[in-house]
Amino acid sequence: MFNHLNFLFMVMMITGTVITISSNSWIVMWMGLEINLMSFIPLISNKKWSNNTSMKYFLVQALASASLILFILLNSSTLILNSNFIDHSIMFLIMMALMLKIGAAPFHNWVIFIANHILWSYLFILLTWQKIAPLCMLFYCSMNNNMYMFIFLSALVGSIFNLNQNSLKKILTYSSINHLSWIMSTFFISKMMFLIYFSFYMMLNLVIILMFNFMNIFYINQMFNSTMNSKLTILVATSTMMAMGGLPPFLGFLPKWMVIQTLISSSFFFLTYTLILFSLIMLFIYIQIFFSSLMLTTSMTKWTKTNKFNSLYINMYMWIMISSLIMFFMIIN
């Protein structure tokens, strides 16, 4: 049934993000963040554990918002973007408040809890749309060694903490933290590279979360034990996860390859090495899941037993795979 209130909150959430990314004033951008926050909380407040989850989300975001507006007002030179008189200590404090808002390491614990207690659809919003406005504000913070620290910690936490995880929601959330390190590294390149990488990241999250939502699974072992999922469906889901890990020639490899090329050409060698190293750990986790799906799946013997929804997701996945292969060969040539 169509929920008019949820639709209203979604419109307000989109409006808040648009206000933030289209403004040149830190105060107005902060107001957009608050509209976005107050629109997302009601969406996650109507299910099991809603009171605890929404309250924790509100407290963390309120702390980040209060800190952000305080640091903005501490120095009048930060009220307008691209000011020539920037207090770097104030910008670092603003950066920390924004890192707390997006759940980057070391401020990531809250997002793990929230992600594990909300629906798949709201998890997609949390991992993608809710990061757009704070990331756009981070883009205007001065790039210095402080950003290197957050990139390194996000890459480390997103990969190491994902080892031996069984919850699919936690795997995707830690993967999102790892992807944040790649997204923040695009700040050293250009706004266009940031938009390209985030678009690919958002599309891959959409496909895999739609798949898990349809399969109604929350843990890795459910993928292999459920009698409701065909081998082809499971293979498609795990292959999409490998695309998230950036395995060539899957679609997720394309934006990472573009970032690597640009960073190397700009002499960011250590940053590139760090991103590649921790991404290989993430890829190892996804490959483990993929081979488990090949070896342990015993539910159905015929790949053709799929319903209309199965066919829709599989066709979507095949289209993405074909597109990624074409773009991959265009790049290497």
Same domain, 56 and 70: yes
Same domain, 75 and 159: no
Helix 191-215 to helix 168-185 angle, to the nearest 10 degrees?
A: 170
Q: 142, 162, 184 — which closes off a domain?
A: 142
At residue 331, the pLDDT reads: 52
The tokens for 123 are 């998890």
Q: 142, 174, 207 — which closes off a domain?
A: 142
Same domain, 131 and 159: no
> What is the span of the domain harbouring residue 202?
143-333
* Higher pLDDT among residues 18 and 223, named by residue: 18
Q: 126, 142, 158 — which closes off a domain?
A: 142
Q: Give the rounded percent of residues in the chain with a pLDDT score beyond 70.
A: 78
Q: Give the rounded percent of residues in the chain with a pLDDT score beyond 90.
A: 49
The SS3 assignment for 25 reads strand
Confidence at 178, pLDDT banded by 50, 70, 90: very high
Total structural domains in the chain? 2
| pTM, to two decimals | 0.86
Choose among 288, 217, 199: nearest CA to 247: 288
Is the per-residue pLDDT at 28 higher than 50?
yes
Lowest mean pLDDT of 39-53, 64-78, 313-327, name the range.
313-327
CB 205 within 8 A of CB 128: yes
Same domain, 137 and 147: no
